[in-house]
Amino acid sequence: WAPTGAWLEEVKQGLPTNVLSLLVQRIVPIVEEFIQGVEVLEESAVISFLKQTTLVGLVPPPQPIMIHRYAVSLATETWMSAYTWGLLYLRNQIPPYRLFDGLSNVKMIRVGAT
């Protein structure tokens, strides 16, 4: 597989670059104004100017964090059980804790089934 120009354009369309493009649109005129006022331009001067520049008001505020209560369901309970037992099994396969060596009939059990 080799990336093509059409593929790159398709990937670019899906990237969430709206905040970055808004930031660039607003910060470029500020930097250009700073550059015009400087006789000898050095990269370190521009970097220190950017460090002192605030982004407050330039970018939109972040979305509020949504809090959802955990709802017990058979799917989440099954996933958590499989994940926990899988973790226990795999963590005990790393030396020196080879707890399950020689066991060919490891059986997963359900704890607290109602």
pLDDT at 2: 86
- CB–CB of 82/109 below 8 Å? no
pLDDT at 37: 79
Q: Each residue of 65-87: pLDDT tens digit?
A: 888 888 889 998 999 999 998 88
* N-terminal to C-terminal alpha carbon distance within the chain: 51
Query: What contacts 43, CB < 8 A, 6 or more positions away?
Result: none
Residue 61: asked if its preceding bond is cis (omega within 30°), the reply is no
Q: Is the pTM of this model over 0.75?
A: no
Q: Each residue of 27-64: pLDDT tens digit?
A: 899 889 988 877 788 888 888 988 988 878 777 787 88
pLDDT at 57: 78
The torsion region of residue 67 among left (phi > 0), alpha (psi -120 to 50) and beta comes to: beta
More confident residue, 30 or 97: 30
